Structure 1
Amino acid sequence: MRFLLRRLAGLAVVLVVASFLVYGLLYLVPGGPMAFLLGNRSGTPEQIAAIREQYRLDDPFLVRYLAWLGDAVQGDFGSSLVYRQDVSALLTARGTTTALLVGYATAVIVVVGVAAGTVAGLRPGRADAVISTLSSASLAVPTFVIGVLLVIVFALGLGWFPVFGPGEGFLGRLHHLTLPAITLSLGSAAFLARITRASVREELGREHVETARSRGLAERHVIRRHVLRNASIPVVTVTGLTVAGLLAGSVVVENVFALDGLGSLFVRAILQRDFAVVQAVVLVLVTAFVLVNLVVDLCCKALDPRLSR
């Protein structure tokens, strides 16, 4: 419990600092927030007054920040100047697509990366050489190139998957998100496979593994209890960081496959100078990142209780 409370307190501090930076950095643009909000447009005095009232620009900075933070904690991120609706509604409508995409990609990364890395670590030789070659090739190809190739081969050529759009219904969404999820996860799965392979190889050479074998324990038992369990700690850590990085990587994939998710919304908000949407999306992504780190810490603690000391 003390371990969990320490982690929660640390994450709370991180979120407060991040929210302050998210809110404050946009006020440092040349010309101030009004120049950012208006862009190249020349608003009428009534429009300027409405914007100043909406963003509390006449109040001191700390008062504006605390008021914005209080509203954000309650799920109120203000109204979008471009879409003319609540930012919370925009995030809810598009967050489902991004969550499904990241979740699908995470499953692919964990299954493919851990399985391939374990096989390469336990079976040196041809299997290790093939997996190492494929992982190196996957890491060398940029994400957008992988997406374009998958569209050409599996969507346009074979017609197995749709080209654009998130789909409807759960199964329909999974069908539409298969190519984007593979595109998003391929490089990360290759990286995780290399980490898993190195971790398994390192554990195979440790003294306690040789001791377990000398006691006559079955090889399956030695691998499961003494190799894979200890090798899983760095694998879990890297998996958590990789999943957190998928939130940023989804921006490219959503634009390639025309998915209306948080990534594409964020890009459009920056180009259209939609102040409230930019702040909200960044804060949501930071919150997701720190929550993933919390889950990783708890998993590592469960695998090795000594980490809580």
Structure 2
Amino acid sequence: MIGRFVARRAAMLVVTAFVASIAVYGALFIAPGDPATLLIGGGKPPSPRLLAEIHRQYHLDDPFFQGYWRWLTGLLHGDAGQSLTYKDSVTGLITERIGNTAFLVAYAAVLIVVPGIGLGTFAALRGGVGDTLVTVVTTALMAVPTFVMSVLLIWWLSVRWGWLPAYGAGTGFTGRLEHLTLPAVALATAWVAYVAQVTRQAVRTELASEHVETARSRGVPERFVVRKHVLRNAAGPLLSVSGVAVAGLIAGCAIVEQAFGINGVGALLVQSAAKQDLAVVQALALITVVVFVTVNTLVDVAAAALDSRVSLKDSA
């Protein structure tokens, strides 16, 4: 049963990626402007002959399906085309920058999952003042946009106090850890609050469930009830919301990388979109969609496997 469930999810992933590739290529295919002007620069208007030669060389005038098929088959072979702005292969540009983004996302993911689940569990189990305090703080943090949090952290912890650097990604593990702490915190803050709120509600729901009351009436120690019945049964929803949060980090990377001057794929996407560098934008947009859907697919499979109350047949 689990094998069939995974196969169905994998098939859905492939179909979603295929549809997304058509949407990404199609949206940029009909976008206004002429990318060929990037190679010519300013000055007097280019000659039609020169523009035609650039269009031919970079296949800018290919029919939609012909251009899409060339682009898709190239991607499947690791060739995402040439960047008109950077005069380099798109694959090389992404490979050069993806390490910084992957480190940032992984760092922020740890800052989301550990404090988020910890705070939500604490609030649900303790109640009272602790519950109120966690709820108020997390609700306030959820209302702060990522770019505002980035500016506040730069001003407070870097400019005013000088505790942490506010620019660049650093080198080596310790250098990256130091330079990416503020960006990771800015990226994770709103998601930490969201995970904490969902965790709090999931744990409170399990605490009020019938099987927990039955276990308590039989004299089962509270710590065993919490670990065996409450947290275990709440693991499915917690894993799901954590997966959505981690996948959502991909979209927020562009804002944070721009704010902190990080040479990552998020900043590359913003810069390339501003310059109409279609090959880079197409590749990064598709990669973002595929990674997002892949993470959510893996989370769905793990959550279904952990939560015995979820029917794999129905979930598929």
Between the two proteins, the alignment pairs up a number of residues equal to 305
Query: Cα deviations across residues 45-71 of structure 1 (Å, max 9, x unaligned)?
Result: 24532333322623x322221121111
Amino acid at match of 1:69: L
* Pairing of 1:203-214 with structure 2 (within 5 A): 203-214=206-217
Aligned equivalent of 2:279, options 273, 276, 280 = 276
Match of 1:29 in 2: 31
- In the TM superposition, residue 99 of structure 1 has moved relative to its aligned partner by 0.9
* Residue in 2 that maps onto 1:169: 172
1:301 corresponds to 2:304: yes
User: Who is 1:53 aligned against?
Assistant: 57
Structure 2: distance between partners of 1:69 and 1:242: 29
Asked if 1 retains the 8 angstrom alpha-carbon contact of 2:236 and 2:304, the reply is no
Contact 1:165 1:260 in 2 (8 A): yes
Secondary structure class of the residue paired with 2:311: helix
Distance 1:302 1:183 in 2: 32
- Which structure 1 residue ranges, 5 or more long, are not aligned? none
Contact 1:109 1:189 in 2 (8 A): yes
Instruction: Name 1:17's counterpart in structure 2.
Output: 19
Identity across the alignment (%): 45
What is the identity, as a one-letter code, of the residue corresponding to 1:227? V
Q: What's the offset of the Cα at 1:249?
A: 0.8
Tell me if the contact between 1:37 and 1:273 (Cα under 8 Å) persists in the aligned partners: no
Alpha-carbon distance between aligned partners in 1 of 2:151 and 2:206, rounded to the nearest angstrom? 39
TM-score by length of 2: 0.92
Distance in 2 (CA, whole Å) between partners of 1:177 and 1:307 is 41
Q: CA deviation at 1:37?
A: 4.3
- The answer (yes or no) to whether the contact 1:106–1:243 under 8 Å persists in 2 is yes
Q: Which amino acid aligns with 1:48?
A: A
**Which residue is equivalent to 2:6?**
4
Q: Does structure 2 retain, via aligned residues, the 8 Å contact 1:76–1:87?
A: yes
Is the CA contact 2:207–2:230 (under 8 Å) kept in the aligned structure 1?
Answer: yes
Tell me the amino acid that sits aligned with residue 14 of structure 1. T
Query: Which AA in structure 1 matches 2:55?
Result: I
Per the alignment, residue 196 of structure 1 pairs with 199
RMSD across aligned positions (CA): 1.6
Q: Which runs of 5+ in 2 are unaligned?
A: none
Q: 1:216 aligns with which of 211, 214, 219?
A: 219
User: Which stretch has the larger CA shift, 216-225 or 185-194?
Assistant: 216-225
Q: 2 CA distance for matches of 1:217 and 1:260?
A: 54
CA distance in 1, matches of 2:83, 2:283: 10
Paired position in structure 1 for 2:85 = 82
Which 10-residue stretch deviates more, 67-76 or 149-158? Answer: 149-158
